[in-house]
Each structure stands twice: as structure tokens, then as C-alpha cells.
Amino acid sequence: MLRKLHYFHLNGLAESSRYMLHYAGLEFQDIRYDMATWPIKKIKDFYEEGDRRLNQSIAIARYIASQTNLLPSDPWEQAVLDAAVLNINDYRSKVREYYFNWILETDPVRKEQLGNGKDEFESETNEFYLSRFEKELKANKGYFGGKLSWADFYLVGCIETANLFAGYEIEEMYPNIRALVKTIRSLPGVKEYIATRKPYI
């Protein structure tokens, strides 16, 4: 069965799925585009398996997890991870919105205002969300669900993308998040993939 993951050459929405596929040893084509060659307007990423196609990064990540040992079978345990992923996604949206507004702003006055608000935005948004994730990880042996799952991969993908935007390691002050990033980056499959991938800019 031929698996294909289509996304920009960026970590963004796809990196957690790429990590899981490499970790699980599931063979796939890692197809990458730039803005000019992206084939489907208004869809951000998609996944193919044979002649079946799926969009929405969270649906894709969850499906890949279901093909590995990264999704528990108990419905309540699954729901706790779903909620964690959706909370992480809320954070991701806010980070993305802020940076895109700032990057795309052409009026120099408004751009300076947004730039001056950067520290405040980062400290408020990061503090609210990251302290919440830190607390959840701490209460569950360093993972959202008490053991490694797709929610942990989803957080790490989001943190790495936020770091690319922010230009520094936003998880610096959160020891459990830092440890999780390190754990996932050291997993068999993921480690080798990171060593060979081209840098994201």
C-alpha cells in the first residue's frame, strides 16, 4: 500500500506525522512543495493511501497513530488525547496568526506596533498555554496520556514550528516540555530522519 504525505517544505502541520511515520517504520513518500507549486488552493496538507485521500492535519496524524502503538484503545484515554491535541492546536493557531499578521503587515506604523507587542504576545500566549501543557505532562509521567502517544508528537511538531517563527526556543522555561522534545527527537527512526533532512527556514 502506497502512502504519500503532501505538504510544503516546512515542519508546520506535517512534521508530527512525518515523525510518527518514521518512528513506526511505515514507508511513505514525503512529497514537498513550495508556494508556487502547491496543487490545491485552500487545503493545507493531505495524505494518500492507495486511492484514498484525507485532509486536515489532525485527522491525518490521528489516523497514522491508529496504525501504530501511539493511540490507546480506551475511548476515554483517546478523548483525553483528542482534547490535548485540540488545545495544542488552539495555541498553534494563535502563534501562527500573530506571526502572519506581523510578517504580512505592510503599513510601517502598524508593523511597529505589532513588533512592539511581540514580547507581550509571546509571554502571555506562551505562558498561558505552555504552563498548562507543562502541568499536564508533569502530572502524567512526562506524556499527555501517561505514556508516549500522538499528542506528544503533535506538541513537539508545534513547538518546533513556533521556534522557527520566534527565533528562539520557546520551551526553554518548561522542563517537561523540553524533555519531551528531546525524547521524541531521539526516538529510533526520528533521529535518523532529523539527521538527514534539509533545514527549514
Could you tell me if residue 71 is left (phi over 0), alpha (psi between -120 and 50 degrees) or otherwise beta?
Answer: beta
Q: Binding of a second copy at residue 2 (CB under 8 A)?
A: no
Q: Binding of a second copy at residue 49 (CB under 8 A)?
A: yes
Q: Which three cell numbers stand for residue 158?
A: 508545534
Q: Binding of a second copy at residue 62 (CB under 8 A)?
A: yes
Q: For a second copy, give the closer residue by CB, 76 or 168.
A: 76
Q: For a second copy, give the closer residue by CB, 8 or 63.
A: 63
Q: What count of other Cβ atoms lies within 10 Å of the Cβ of residue 98?
A: 18
Determine the Cα–Cα distance for residues 117 and 122; give it in Å rounded to an integer: 8
Stretch that binds a second copy, among 18-26, 72-80, 107-115, 176-184 (CB under 8 A): 72-80
- Least distance in Å: CB of 147 to a second copy? 18
- Least distance in Å: CB of 96 to a second copy? 13
- Least distance in Å: CB of 44 to a second copy? 10
Q: Binding of a second copy at residue 48 (CB under 8 A)?
A: no
Determine the Cα–Cα distance for residues 43 and 113; give it in Å rounded to an integer: 31
- Least distance in Å: CB of 75 to a second copy? 4
Q: Binding of a second copy at residue 68 (CB under 8 A)?
A: no
Amino acid letter for position 24: A
One-character DSSP codes across 96-140: HHHHHHHHH---HHHHHHHHHTHHHHIIIIIHHHHHHHHHHHHHT
Contacts of 24 (CB under 8 A, 6+ apart): 64, 67, 68, 69, 70, 189
Q: Binding of a second copy at residue 29 (CB under 8 A)?
A: no
Q: Identify the residue among 2, 40, 83, 179 touching a second copy (CB under 8 A).
A: 83
| Cβ-based burial of 178 (10 A; exposed 0-12, middle 13-18, buried ≥19) | middle
List interacting residues with a second copy (CB under 8 A).
Answer: 42, 49, 52, 54-56, 58-60, 62-63, 66-67, 75-76, 78-80, 82-83, 86-87, 128
